[in-house]
A and B are shown apart, each in its own frame.
Chain A
Amino acid sequence: MDMIAPLAKTGLISEAMNLWLAVPIGFVFGLGLYYAGFTDSRRIARAFYLKDVGVPVVMFSAIVTGMLGLWALSLIGFIDTSKMFYLPTFLVPMAVGGFLFGIGMAVGGFCPGTAAASVATGRIDAMIFVVGFLIGSILFGDLFPIWGDFYNSDYRGVFRLDELLGLDIGVVVLILTVAAIGGSLLMRAGQHYFWPQPDADVDALRARLKVQIPLVAVALVVAAVMALFPTESFIKPAPAGWFVIQKHAAAPETPEAVTAPSGDAPAEAAPAPAPAPAPARHPRGGSEGC
């Protein structure tokens, strides 16, 4: 049976329809950011003092939701993972970028998505943050020759945690789900330890737990079931080894996967099997994550 999704790649919807459907998807995203309280810079920044750990809890929940959904749909044969665009790994630049990004978030109180959402709620500090973000982006692009080589260094292709750890995808999904729940509880405990609130509204807290506990339970059950399946159940031996994406694909937004023999997953000993051709000055649009 042919797989249905991704709809735009299997030809079920046109490219124009795909673009228009991005609007309602973005709408839900923006609404979710608002209802997460992510349009408030103080709330985001307080996470770095463990004063309000709602931010990482939301992030973990979003990742776990997307992760369980993606791999469960792949498991039941609904979504063809070989037709998806996966983010490639440039390990050291991404780690350094993440550290700088964290500094910027603690100083500025936003990340790009939350700042954009906050601009839409009229917040002036968010508007100034976005101006700064645009300046930072243009600086990076215009002075690209200075750090271009570093930007393109440590290329690992599409490199997944299951390959790094030598475990099945389902097991990694379960581990991450448990770690997200455990991490959330641990941070919540830290918040109560460092910033005790003896006059907290117990009824309101209880009402929130009543919503959250079933969601967490469902996630645990789904992840536990997925852990029973081997990696091959999630990733069909596709003709294209999409785990190795060529560094500079032909056309932007449609990265051509290098054809690799199936089952030739990068082992942890040799995590960079990419037969990358002559080093590119800059990768094409496909490797642009966000």
Chain B
Amino acid sequence: MIPAPFAYERPTTVDEALQAIAAGGEDVKILAGGQSLIPVMRLRLAAPETVVDLTRVTELRGVREEGDVLVIGAMTTHHDVITDPLIAQHAPLIAEATETVADRQVRHRGTFGGALAHADPAGDLPAVALALDAEFVLAGPNGRRTVGASDFFVDYLTTALEEGELLVEIRVPKLTGSWGVRYEKFNRVAQAWSIVAVAAAVRRENGHIAEARIGLTNMGPTPLRARATEAALAGAAVTAEAIADAARSAAEGTSPSSDLNAQADYREHLAQVLTRRAVSAAAGL
């Protein structure tokens, strides 16, 4: 299908982009990679008045280090995330999860920031950002502000981004120490969204699990942390039994939906199984 008509703006800087958003009228959509927005527009689920295309805002692309933090430009494509040496070194969980997003063509266009700002609960990256305690830098007419991941994802397809604001970069604390990571994705066909997925990062110390961070994909309207499991794993022995015990509480506090691929109770079960697998792998079992 053909999208409905819209006005098109193509800024080259963040300031221009903010002006274009401000001037764009009632219904402005920000086009990052467009790999979700354009299909939605083709299906006429969205018919924005103005589309602000960030493709030429080069300052939003790329990955850099700032001390203990990795700064990922919102317009860095999935492909560039996967091949970035800094991410491979300091945030391999992001690369691992990004490799499972859609297909190579989509990964060439789709962007890290776009996927996070879209906040699709079945998308793979929000749970990873949540697990890594990422921070989101939002630019607006009145300057910039930083929001933690736990505050960024507000509801189904809804984030802390206010009208007129733009996600410009994502700050990811480097994992230091003896961390292992794993993204366990469960879907029925290769290019599909996650039915459920689990992002796990586990730090081992003296033969025990010192800290585990677990993000859940598609277990509710927003990505979630498996807090009960994380708590149970803190200080636990690195054994299959201890991890399995802890993983049983992975679905606590979740509210998954029911659809063609899974009803809620099955999603809850999958969260437990996948958490066990992800944590085991991340812990080196």
Pair from one complex: no
Q: Which residues of A contact B (CB under 8 A)?
A: none
